Every structure is written in C-alpha cells, then in structure tokens.
Amino acid sequence: MSIVVREISKSFGEFAALRDVSLEVPTGSLTALLGPSGSGKSTLLRVIAGLERPDTGGVSIAEEDVTAEAPQRRGVGFVFQHYAAFKHMTVYENVAFGLRIRHRPRTEIRERVGELLRLVQLEGFAERYPAQLSGGQRQRMGLARALAVDPKVLLLDEPFGALDARVRKELRAWLRRLHDETHTTTVIVTHDQEEAMEVADRIALMNEGRIEQVGTPRDLYERPGNEFVMSFVGPVNRVGDAYIRPHDLELCSEPNGSTQEAMVERLVHLGFEVRVELVRDDGTRLSAQVTREEAAALELDVGQIVYVRAVRQTTFTS
Amino acid sequence: MARYALRFAGLSYLAVLLVAPVGLVFWRTFEHGLAPVWHAVTTHDARHAFWLTILIALIAVPANTVFGVGLALAIVRRRFPGKGLVNAVVDLPLALSPVVVGLALLLLYGRLGWFGPFFERHGIHVVFALPSMILATIFVSLPFVVREVVPVLREIGTEQEQAASTLGASSLQTLVRITLPAIRWAIAYGVVLTTARCLGEFGAVSVVSGHLVGRTETATLYVQDQFEGFDLTGAYAASVLLALIAIATLVAMNAFRPKEATR
C-alpha cells in the first residue's frame, strides 16, 4: 500500500507551505517527514489524508489516485498531535467509532476493540473517559482508534509532541515494535531528528516547503546532500567552509603539525559521553564529543589548553 | 478587611436590587393564603394568557435553537462573504428596544405595511394575532443560543471533526455524533436563556398583539392588565406563576446536567 505524492503545491494566502513536492513512500515502510516548524511537513501529511486540498499536484494511495477523494474514502488512519479524542465518549466508544460508522456487527466490534485495547495496553480502561487518561494513554487510544478501521496507511502528525521526554521515548520504541508486527505503511511527522532516526527506516527531510533529501537515517547522517541536511540531522561545527561533527574532532594534549590550539570553556557530562565546549584564539567556538575514558586520559578541565584536529570533515560545493 | 467590604457591597447590591423586589412580590402574593392565588390564576382569562405564553415559547424556542445552532456553525466553521455583518446583526435584538421591534413588525405586516395586504388577501391575520406575537418573540430571543454556542464551538476546534472524517464519518454523521454532543451544554444554556426571554417578553408583543383579553393576551400582558385594573392579587399571582415557570426551567436543566459536565 504505497503512497505517491506528485508535484504538490499548497499556499495559505501569501505563505507557500508546499512547493512542488514529490515523494514516494514504499509499501510497508515507516517514513518520517522531518523538518523545522513551518517546513510544510504537517501540511504534506494533511494533504495525503485529504484534510487539506492541494493547489496543484496529486496523491495516490495503493496505486489509486485519491486526489479528488474526501478523507472518508481514502482508507487512512490519522493520529493527531493533541489526540483529538472524542471527549464525550469512553475509550471503548472512541476506538469503536469507525467500526460503528461502518455498521459492523456488534460482536465483531466488541472483539476487534478488545483486541486493539490489548495491543495498545489499555485493556482496563475501556469504560474511562479521555479526561481520565494520561497524555500517553490518550495517544495510545488515538492509535487504536485509527487502526480499528484497518487503514491502508497510517499517518501520524507529531504524535508524541505533547508528551514528556520519558513517555515519548517509550512510545517511540513501542511504535517501532508495533510497525514491525503489523507492517502497515506509516508516515510520521516530527521535528525531532533523534525521533526520526530512532523510529523510521526512511526519512524525508523538509525545509521551506521542499524536500531536501530522502534516504535512510544513515544516508542522511553520513551522506548529507547539502548544508541544511548536514546541520539538521545532528550537531555540527562550522569552520570556514567545512562542516565537522563533534565526534570527528580529535583532542590531543600535545600539538602535532595539523592540530590547532583551543581552550576548554565548558564540560558537559552526558553519562558515557562528555561534550567539550572549546574556544579558539580567534573567538570561534567548537563542540567536541569524547568518551568518558578519553576525557579522563586527557585530564580535561575548564581553562585547559588542548590541541584539536578534524578527523573527518565535509564541504559542499554550491 | 477590604475583602469583607467588597463581599458585603456585592451581596447588598444583589439583595436590594434583585432579592428584595422578587421576595416582596412573593410575600404580597401569599399574604392571604393560597386560595385567592389559586383562584386568581385559574380564571378563564388567566389560563388563556398562560397557555398563549407557553404556546409562543414552544414555537419560538425550537425555532431559535435550530436556527441558532446552524448560524453558530456557519459563523465559526464556514467562510462566506458578509460574515462579519451577520455576526453583528445577530446581536441587534439585544441592542434594540423591544418596542421598536414591535413597531417595525407593524410597519411590515400591518394593514398598510409591505407584506400586510398580501397576507390579508389570503385570509391570514398577522398583526393583532398570534403570528405577529410569535414573530416578535422569535426576534427578541434570537441571539441567546448563537451567543452561547459560538465560543464553545471555537474552543473545541475542528480536530475531533477531522478525526471523525478520517474514520469514515460523513458530514452529517460527524455533526450528529461529534459536534452536537460536544456543544450540548452550550445549547442547553442557550435554550434556558431563550425560554426565559420568551416567557418574559413584554414590549414587542405588547405593540403587535392589540391586548385583546382572552385572545391575544400573554401572561405578561395579563399581569399588566390586572395591575392597571386594580386587581393586585391577580397581578401578583400571575407574576409569581411566571417566575416559578422560569425557575423550573432553570432547575430542570441543571438537574439533567450530569456531574461529568460540571467539572
């Protein structure tokens, strides 16, 4: 059940949200639309769902052109950032909604809802109202509700954006496991590159209404196509025209031909890793990443002078 | 200290301006026991007046509820030219004196009015008859449902409706299963206010009804009539009954309201 987006443009008044965007989401994949806010990722997702009508271009789902179809007839499951829970219905009624609209027999609905509530670990909560659930539980209910109608594709719009960091991490891992079991073609919108890298097998990185690059998380990280991709998918130092990842900076206690002098300004201990904030004579700042052992071996301390060398750097010819 | 002063001022204001007059009416009504009151409100004219008030409310309230919900949906969910104007015009009945409304209706439907002759030719008496009284009441009680529902519709947003549509619900199914349940308490409040306004309407109806005793006299007009005819017991008794009906509407609405919605 692939998704094909062809040359979509969409403006809101003067603001061009999408500019001639084309994208293919292969069957069974979990693709992330990643980008800063205002990059058009949510608009693209809503165009796929039919909640937004594109100015030009088309959308196909499972080889069928659905550009003119209403959201009701596209066979998509949609999960909203702020849950969009039906507040006057119980968890059971929320999940059963799509099945009741389809006039499925009562016994079938009961079985299917029970099965889904088990899947999202909300078995004991069927009679509760959304107001009595935590954010994470509400979003799991939203997922069950979307999955109930056996959608051809599952679309998630910043599904974990409103949750705290710990719950977000749990749900991410859980979503990945769910996808590995069901293999439903899934598109997830996120502004968090770590989330995209962790959960998706493909990432489409968006910026200012365009797709900058599509590829596996590793592709984007190791072979970024331009400066924007380079700096969005991970922390980066810019020295002249060169971009250097913090873990590609080597720190030495003695100078050797190719090194440059810098002073340790700040040390941030992040468990296994230590982030070293450096400042050079000319005032440029660098951020290096070393392991705890390396930091200990160098006896790093604030104010200390170290010698820095780039192991690997990337330049873009534009 | 300032807190107590403020509280005292607030309560005194309520006591002097609201509780005292209403309380006095109740006290004067039952001064001589229940029998005279019962007798006063069960005369033929009194019964007819109350029946007419209730009949008008039974037509005006549903009409304004359906129209009010539809208009609120249009104002909040749709874009159309002249929306700002519509939004402003809805409040007109609140700003306009009911007497002016009554006169306007006379100008339109009276014997020399624009539409009056047309209806007369078809044998329909609009002015000095039930139709104009219903029109006047609908006019003055129009804004309440709209004004209660609009802010709630804004607050609930469109996400639930969008979720319903991605789950396969048609626009009508979404309206019935999602939107209406979400705004039901706003509608209920609007209905209570509309009902109260309909029961209490005096000015506009007074102008268009012609005060025909036993025929076009509503409860409020009846109270005035009795008062001017020095039948104070009749006037007070009818007033109290009118107030009780309004209070009963409020209480009924609150009784039906589940605990879940009061949070």
> Do A246 and A224 belong to one domain?
no
> Do A215 and A257 belong to one domain?
no
> Do B46 and B26 belong to one domain?
no
The residue whose two tokens read 């209570």 is B192
Residue A196's CB: how many other CB atoms inside 10 A? 26
Mean of pLDDT values over A290-295 = 90
Pairing of strands A153-157, A76-79: parallel
Residue B215 lies inside a defined structural domain of this protein:
yes
> Do A241 and A143 belong to one domain?
no
A82-86, B1-5, B54-58, B241-245: range with lowest mean pLDDT: B1-5
* pLDDT surpassing 90 at residue B36: no
> Do A224 and A245 belong to one domain?
no
The number of residues making up chain A comes to: 318
The per-residue pLDDT for A318 is 62
Residue B64 lies inside a defined structural domain of this protein:
yes
B interface mutation test: which of A48, A76, A86, A143 has the most B CBs within 10 A? A86
Last residue of a domain, one of A181, A200, A230: A230
Assign B123 a pLDDT band (cuts: 50, 70, 90).
confident
The per-residue pLDDT for B259 is 52
Which CATH number is A58's domain given? 3.40.50.300
> Do A109 and A249 belong to one domain?
no
Domain count, chain A: 2
Residue B250 lies inside a defined structural domain of this protein:
yes
A88 contacts B181? CB cut-off 8 A:
yes
> Do A69 and A185 belong to one domain?
yes
> Do A127 and A164 belong to one domain?
yes
- Collect all residues of chain B within an 8 Å Cβ-Cβ radius of residue A72: 165-166, 168-170
> Do A125 and A187 belong to one domain?
yes
Share of chain A above pLDDT 90, in %: 78
Last residue of a domain, one of A211, A230, A249: A230
> Do B12 and B58 belong to one domain?
no
The per-residue pLDDT for B261 is 46
- B118 contacts B185 by C-beta, under 8 angstroms: no
User: Order of strands across the sheet with A249-252?
Assistant: A249-252, A305-310, A260-270, A273-279, A285-291
> Do B118 and B245 belong to one domain?
yes
Domain count, chain B: 2
* pLDDT surpassing 60 at residue B206: yes
> Do B48 and B136 belong to one domain?
yes
Last residue of a domain, one of A191, A210, A230: A230
The residue ranking higher by pLDDT, B122 or A22, is A22
- B73 contacts B262 by C-beta, under 8 angstroms: no
Residue B36 lies inside a defined structural domain of this protein:
no
pLDDT tens digit sequence for A172-188: 998 999 899 889 999 99
Would you call A82 an interface residue with chain B, using a CB distance cutoff of 8 Å? yes
Which CATH number is A289's domain given? 2.40.50.100
Nearest to A87 among B164, B167, B182 (CB): B182
Q: Rounded to whole angstroms, how far apart are CA atoms A144 and A134?
A: 15
> Do A249 and A198 belong to one domain?
no
Mean of pLDDT values over B138-154 = 95
Pairing of strands A314-315, A242-244: antiparallel
Q: Rounded to whole angstroms, how far apart are CA atoms B171 and A98?
A: 14
Residue B194 lies inside a defined structural domain of this protein:
yes
* pLDDT surpassing 60 at residue A258: yes
Assign A55 a pLDDT band (cuts: 50, 70, 90).
very high
3-state secondary structure (DSSP) of residue B112: coil
B162 contacts A51? CB cut-off 8 A:
yes
Assign B99 a pLDDT band (cuts: 50, 70, 90).
very high
- Collect all residues of chain A within an 8 Å Cβ-Cβ radius of residue B173: 101
Would you call B165 an interface residue with chain A, using a CB distance cutoff of 8 Å? yes
B177 contacts A97? CB cut-off 8 A:
yes
The per-residue pLDDT for B262 is 40
Q: Rounded to whole angstroms, how far apart are CA atoms B163 and A80?
A: 8
Mean pLDDT (chain A, rounded)? 93
Mean of pLDDT values over A278-307 = 89
Residue A93 main-chain phi, psi, to 5 deg: -65, -35
> Do B111 and B10 belong to one domain?
no
> Do A70 and A198 belong to one domain?
yes
Which CATH number is B200's domain given? 1.10.3720.10
| Torsion sign across C-alpha atoms A97, A102, A103, A108 | negative
- Collect all residues of chain A within an 8 Å Cβ-Cβ radius of residue B260: 129
Residues 6+ apart with CB under 8 A from B188: B253, B256, B257
> Do B124 and B176 belong to one domain?
yes
- Collect all residues of chain B within an 8 Å Cβ-Cβ radius of residue A80: 159, 162-163
A interface mutation test: which of B167, B184, B187, B260 has the most A CBs within 10 A? B167
Would you call B233 an interface residue with chain A, using a CB distance cutoff of 8 Å? no
Mean of pLDDT values over A23-47 = 95
The per-residue pLDDT for B263 is 37
> Do B106 and B233 belong to one domain?
yes
Residue B48 lies inside a defined structural domain of this protein:
yes
B interface mutation test: which of A47, A53, A80, A101 has the most B CBs within 10 A? A101
Mean pLDDT (chain B, rounded)? 90
pLDDT tens digit sequence for A91-123: 999 999 999 999 999 999 999 999 999 989 999
Q: Rounded to whole angstroms, how far apart are CA atoms B23 and B26?
A: 5
> Do B146 and B211 belong to one domain?
yes
The per-residue pLDDT for B125 is 86
Residue B158 lies inside a defined structural domain of this protein:
yes
Residue B37 lies inside a defined structural domain of this protein:
no
Residue A154 main-chain phi, psi, to 5 deg: -110, 125
Q: Rounded to whole angstroms, how far apart are CA atoms A187 and A200?
A: 9
B168 contacts A98? CB cut-off 8 A:
yes
DSSP one-letter string for chain A = --EEEEEEEEEETTEEEEEEEEEEE-TT-EEEEE--TTSSHHHHHHHHHTSS--SEEEEEETTEE-TTS-GGGS-EEEE-TT----TTS-HHHHHHHHHHHTT--HHHHHHHHHHHHHHTT-GGGTT--GGGS-HHHHHHHHHHHHHTT--SEEEEESTTTTS-HHHHHHHHHHHHHHHHHH--EEEEEES-HHHHHHH-SEEEEEETTEEEEEE-HHHHHHS-SSHHHHHHSS--EEETTEEE-GGGEEEESS--TT-EEEEEEEEEEETTEEEEEEE-TTS-EEEEEEEHHHHHHHT--TT-EEEEEES--EE---
Mean of pLDDT values over A32-52 = 95
> Do B153 and B252 belong to one domain?
yes
> Do B185 and B123 belong to one domain?
yes
Cα nearest neighbour of B261 on chain A: A88
- A204 contacts A44 by C-beta, under 8 angstroms: no
Mean of pLDDT values over B173-188 = 94
> Do B165 and B224 belong to one domain?
yes
Assign B158 a pLDDT band (cuts: 50, 70, 90).
very high
pLDDT tens digit sequence for B212-259: 888 899 999 999 999 998 888 889 999 999 988 988 888 887 777 665
Burial of B257 (0-12, 13-18, 19+ CB in 10 A): middle
Q: Rounded to whole angstroms, how far apart are CA atoms A304 and A261?
A: 10
> Do B227 and B155 belong to one domain?
yes
Mean of pLDDT values over B179-200 = 92
> Do A180 and A89 belong to one domain?
yes
3-state secondary structure (DSSP) of residue B146: helix
* pLDDT surpassing 90 at residue A155: yes
> Do A122 and A247 belong to one domain?
no
Segments forming the whole domain that contains residue A178: 3-230
Mean of pLDDT values over B68-76 = 95
Segments forming the whole domain that contains residue B4: 1-31
Tokens of A165: 């960091």
